[in-house]
């Protein structure tokens, strides 16, 4: 038929109207776009994505907990003293390890924030109508979160670098710490991660495209 | 919108309810309400065709141009 999308009333609208009004007028009812429910089978891939994202956010929370514990240990070593079993950390400067665990905590928080937005987008996918303005602003929030987080990370890691560069006698060459932080390479660079920044660029463009697409979809909803 | 869809009058004439029309035309009640309350931005020719067929009228009977400023209705 002419109408490809089968739209019916949301439950919220139904409750506003008493049953005996059903056959009469709908003059005074206000159409809320978000209350329109589209019935169509949600795609299997959308359901799989939703489950996967839920799983990932659980992982992110576990990761955050681990990193907070790690930062706590680092702070304890810095402020109070060595914990038995962590002697390996002794050859790393205190503030370096604290900042580094702080970077990890920030990374986990960003992952959680991004995953939250992604899950909300995924919910609209499940509903069968993802092209809504709210999703456009969610995409914008995602790239802003990633960009701010990456800027903070770069600044903190740069602080670590500066500190390490000043200490000539500090040798990370044989240390596990040098490996995982990338301080072993020895080259003096600002720790910019181009892959992250190009991802931010892609997200910016996608968010803009999505905003226009959502606006077009809004128009289409009012075409009968 | 200066263009109004004159559904009320025709429905009264034909003694047909909005629900009945929706069923006959194959448009959901929600979409028909959008049309009737003047919230619609555009109308497909297929919709117009179906409405004219079921209401036995011409497009000119359905669409009214009112060049006034207040869009109360």
Q: Which residues of A touch B32 (CB under 8 A)?
A: 224
In chain B, alpha helices (H): 7-14, 18-25, 29-36, 45-55, 59-62
Is pLDDT at A174 greater than 70 in this prediction?
no
Question: Residue B41 and residue A222: Cβ atoms within 8 Å?
Answer: yes
Q: Which residues of B touch A9 (CB under 8 A)?
A: 29-30
Candidates A134, A104, A106, A107; CA nearest to A120 is A134
The C-alpha atoms of residue A223 and residue B22 are separated, in whole angstroms, by 16
* Closest chain B CA to residue A2: B46
More confident residue, A44 or A183: A44
The reported pLDDT for the residue numbered A58 is 96
Residue where the block lists tokens 């299997």: A44
CA atoms within 13 A on the CB side of A64: 14
- For the segment A196-211, the average pLDDT, to the nearest whole number, is 95
3-class DSSP assignment, residue B42: strand
Give the pLDDT band (50/70/90) at residue A170.
low
Backbone angles phi, psi at B3, to 5 degrees: -95, 125
CA atoms within 13 A on the CB side of B43: 22
Question: Residue A26 and residue B33: Cβ atoms within 8 Å?
Answer: yes
The C-alpha atoms of residue B16 and residue A115 are separated, in whole angstroms, by 51
Question: Residue A224 and residue B32: Cβ atoms within 8 Å?
Answer: yes
The C-alpha atoms of residue A31 and residue A128 are separated, in whole angstroms, by 19
Give the pLDDT band (50/70/90) at residue B37.
confident
The reported pLDDT for the residue numbered A213 is 93
The C-alpha atoms of residue A90 and residue A169 are separated, in whole angstroms, by 15
Tokens of A153: 């990370």
Is pLDDT at A215 greater than 50 in this prediction?
yes
B44 touches chain A (CB under 8 A): yes
Fold classification of B3-65 is 434 Repressor (Amino-terminal Domain) (1.10.260)
Is pLDDT at B73 greater than 90 in this prediction?
no
The reported pLDDT for the residue numbered A3 is 41
Q: Which range among A13-17, A44-48, B46-50 has the greatest average pLDDT? A: B46-50
DSSP designation for A81: -
The C-alpha atoms of residue A6 and residue A118 are separated, in whole angstroms, by 26
Question: Residue A26 and residue B26: Cβ atoms within 8 Å?
Answer: no
Question: Residue B29 and residue A26: Cβ atoms within 8 Å?
Answer: yes
Q: Which residues of B touch A6 (CB under 8 A)?
A: 28
Contact A106, A153 (CB under 8 A): yes
Q: Which residues of A touch B48 (CB under 8 A)?
A: none
């Amino acid at each position: 038929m002419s109408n490809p999308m089968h739209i019916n009333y949301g439950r919220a609208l139904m409750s506003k109207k008493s049953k005996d009004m059903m056959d009469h007028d709908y003059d005074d009812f206000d159409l809320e776009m978000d209350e329109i429910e589209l019935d169509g089978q949600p795609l299997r891939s959308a359901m799989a994505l939703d489950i996967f994202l839920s799983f990932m956010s659980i992982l992110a929370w576990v990761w955050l907990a681990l990193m907070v514990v790690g930062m706590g240990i680092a702070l304890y070593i810095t402020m109070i003293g060595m914990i038995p079993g962590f002697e390996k950390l002794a050859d790393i400067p205190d503030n370096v390890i604290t900042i580094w665990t702080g970077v990890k905590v920030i990374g986990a928080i960003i992952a959680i924030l991004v995953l939250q937005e992604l899950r909300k987008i995924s919910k609209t996918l499940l509903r069968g109508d993802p092209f809504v303005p709210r999703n456009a602003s969610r995409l914008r929030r995602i790239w802003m979160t990633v960009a701010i987080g990456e800027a903070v990370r770069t600044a903190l890691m740069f602080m670590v670098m500066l500190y390490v560069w000043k200490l000539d006698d500090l040798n990370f060459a044989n240390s596990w710490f040098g490996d995982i932080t990338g301080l072993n390479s020895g080259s003096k660079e600002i720790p910019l991660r181009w892959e992250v920044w190009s991802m931010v660029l892609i997200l910016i463009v996608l968010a803009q495209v999505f905003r226009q697409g959502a606006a077009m979809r809004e128009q289409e909803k009012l075409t009968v | 919108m200066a263009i109004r869809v004159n559904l009320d009058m025709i429905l009264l004439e034909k003694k047909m309810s909005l629900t009945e029309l929706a069923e006959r035309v194959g448009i959901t009640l929600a979409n028909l309400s959008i049309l009737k309350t003047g919230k619609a931005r555009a109308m497909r020719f297929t919709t117009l065709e179906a409405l004219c067929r079921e209401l036995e009228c011409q497009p000119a009977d359905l669409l009214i141009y009112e060049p006034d400023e207040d869009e109360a209705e």
